[in-house]
């Protein structure tokens, strides 16, 4: 079997106390108002990493497998993605085969700043969060990606204290409520 290098990104997730202020800073840095994306993620049981089906609620979706350590601060995430034009039937098949671990519904506002995707998320049952995804170029080191993320965190006014570990799914399973 041929092994292939999975694409990777450096991610940071943090809670956001002032959604309007964060949106204003992100809009200034990206020179755009951002794009609103509705997402319904279904997580399936799997033996390693995470497997989720992302439904964009418009007859399109993505099956996403990823591996990422659950630690504070910038972390490297490796992933593979397959698009689908029928997320509901794929959800049914995967639910039957693997079982559902849980679901996350969110409204995401996406800003593009350099090589970084900045997400301002409102997550059902959790509240407001931001995610930075530094899309790594092949020649970049993890450290360079982390530096990009940390610089942007500073520009966006994200404090180290607001950093969050794990995925929204983990937070929902742990029973975190809106603060």
The CATH fold assigned to 8-173 is: Hypothetical Protein Pfu-838710-001 (2.40.320)
Question: Structure pTM?
Answer: 0.87
> What mean pLDDT, rounded, does the chain reach?
92
C-alpha 170: how far from its chain's center? 13
User: What digits encode the pLDDT tens for the residues 44-91?
Assistant: 999 999 999 999 999 999 999 999 887 777 788 889 999 999 999 999
d(CA 110, CA 117): 7
Phi-psi region of 161 (alpha: psi -120 to 50; beta: other; left: phi over 0): alpha
* DSSP code at position 149: H
Q: What is the pLDDT of residue 24?
A: 98
Dig out the tokens for 140 from the structure. 């970049």
What does the angle CA 149 – CA 150 – CA 154 come to, to the nearest 5 degrees? Answer: 115
């Amino acid at each position: 079997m041929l092994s292939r290098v999975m694409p990777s990104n450096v991610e940071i997730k943090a809670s956001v106390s002032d959604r309007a202020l964060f949106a204003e800073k992100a809009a200034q840095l990206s020179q755009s108002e951002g794009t609103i994306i509705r997402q319904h993620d279904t997580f399936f049981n799997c033996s390693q990493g995470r497997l989720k089906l992302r439904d964009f609620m418009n007859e399109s979706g993505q099956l996403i497998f990823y591996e990422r350590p659950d630690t504070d601060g910038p972390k490297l995430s490796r992933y593979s993605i397959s698009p689908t034009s029928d997320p509901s039937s794929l959800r049914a098949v995967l639910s039957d085969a693997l079982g559902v671990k849980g679901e996350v519904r969110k409204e995401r506002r996406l800003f593009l700043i350099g090589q970084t995707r900045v997400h301002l998320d409102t997550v059902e049952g959790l509240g407001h969060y931001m995610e930075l995804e530094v899309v790594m170029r092949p020649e970049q080191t993890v450290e360079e990606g982390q530096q990009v993320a940390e610089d942007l965190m500073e520009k966006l006014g994200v404090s180290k204290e607001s950093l969050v570990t794990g995925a929204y799914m983990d937070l929902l399973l742990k029973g975190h409520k809106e603060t």
